[in-house]
Amino acid sequence: MGFLTPHFDKIYAAMRILTGVMFSMHGMQKLLGLFGGPPEGAPAFIVWGAGLIELIAGALIAIGFMTGPAAFLASGTMAVAFFIGHVARQGSILPIANGGELAVLYCWVFLLFATRGSGIWSVDAARGSSEATA
């Protein structure tokens, strides 16, 4: 798909922004009761701990400010969510069997963001920060 190569920076930026906004919405769901509210039966420390990370890290990733550290924290949070919320509860390591596909995808996408940095259309790029091109 060489014809998309010239557009990589724009596609990457759009993916970072959309992923950050969607992740932040999970935090809004847990903390503010939006979009159907927090998952039923979730312990308070999960709702508040994960919710804060989702809300803040998602917003930082979306605007492209300190994307590397925010994405690394978000990636780890999703790894923990996968193993505690899906593997331990469902007894299967397979994401398709335990409902953890979204956690796995977020985990790996955030790891990519942590290694690549903010890219274009970001606060880091506007500031001339090396974080924009990690």
Instruction: Note down pLDDT in tens along the chain; length 134 residues.
Output: 699 999 999 999 999 999 999 999 999 999 998 998 888 877 888 889 999 999 999 999 999 999 999 999 999 999 999 999 899 888 999 999 999 999 999 999 999 999 999 999 999 999 988 777 75
Q: Say what the pLDDT of residue 89 is.
A: 86
Q: What is the pLDDT of residue 39?
A: 81
Any idea what DSSP says for residue 5? G
Tens of pLDDT along 35-52? 988 888 778 888 899 999
Q: Which residue, among 48, 42, 112, 40, has the nearest Cα to 74 in the 3D structure? A: 112
Task: Please state the separation of Cα 83 from the chain's center in Å.
Answer: 16
CA distance linking residue 105 with residue 115, whole number of Å: 16
Which SS3 state, helix, strand or coil, does residue 33 take?
Answer: coil
Task: State the pLDDT at residue 1.
Answer: 66
The position carrying tokens 């930026």 is 13
Q: What is the model's pLDDT at position 134?
A: 59
Helix and strand element counts for the chain (H, E):
7, 0
